[in-house]
Amino acid sequence: MSEALQHIAALESNSHQALHTQLQKAQTKASELVVRNAALEEELKSYQAYMRDVVPQYKKQLQYMKQQLKVKASMHAMPAAPGSSGAAKGAEVDEFKLPQIK
């Protein structure tokens, strides 16, 4: 409590200087925040552009993989025809490949 009283006494005795110091600190803090805000806005723009590019690619890859799973499921559900090699058909589907999306 005595520190607070000493601080108040110092402010009262030198209020103009104290206000000037507080104003300088506030201006410095405001400048730092403006710079940080600008940097964060640029980072956000960059991230949004990245996501606009990447999300459609992942959606295409997911769609392709879902199609492969459906084919694989249908291949396992279908019995092999007599005289045909069911293993050859299954071998084509067993290996999952991602499409090359650019």
How does pLDDT run across 27-63, given as a tens digit for each residue? 999 999 999 999 999 999 999 999 999 999 999 999 9
% of the chain with per-residue pLDDT over 70: 75
Confidence band of 15 (pLDDT split at 50, 70, 90): confident
Sign of the dihedral through C-alpha 44, 45, 46, 51 = positive
- Who contacts 97 (Cβ-Cβ below 8 Å, separation ≥6)? 68
Q: What is the mean pLDDT of the chain?
A: 82
pLDDT, residue 90, reads: 46
Query: Model pTM?
Result: 0.49
The pLDDT value given to residue 1? 75
What is the phi/psi pair of residue 99, to 5°? -70, 150
Those residues with Cβ within 8 angstroms of residue 80's Cβ, 6 or more apart along the chain or in another chain? 86, 89
Q: Mean per-residue pLDDT for 15-34?
A: 91
Helix (H/G/I), strand (E/B), else coil: 62? helix
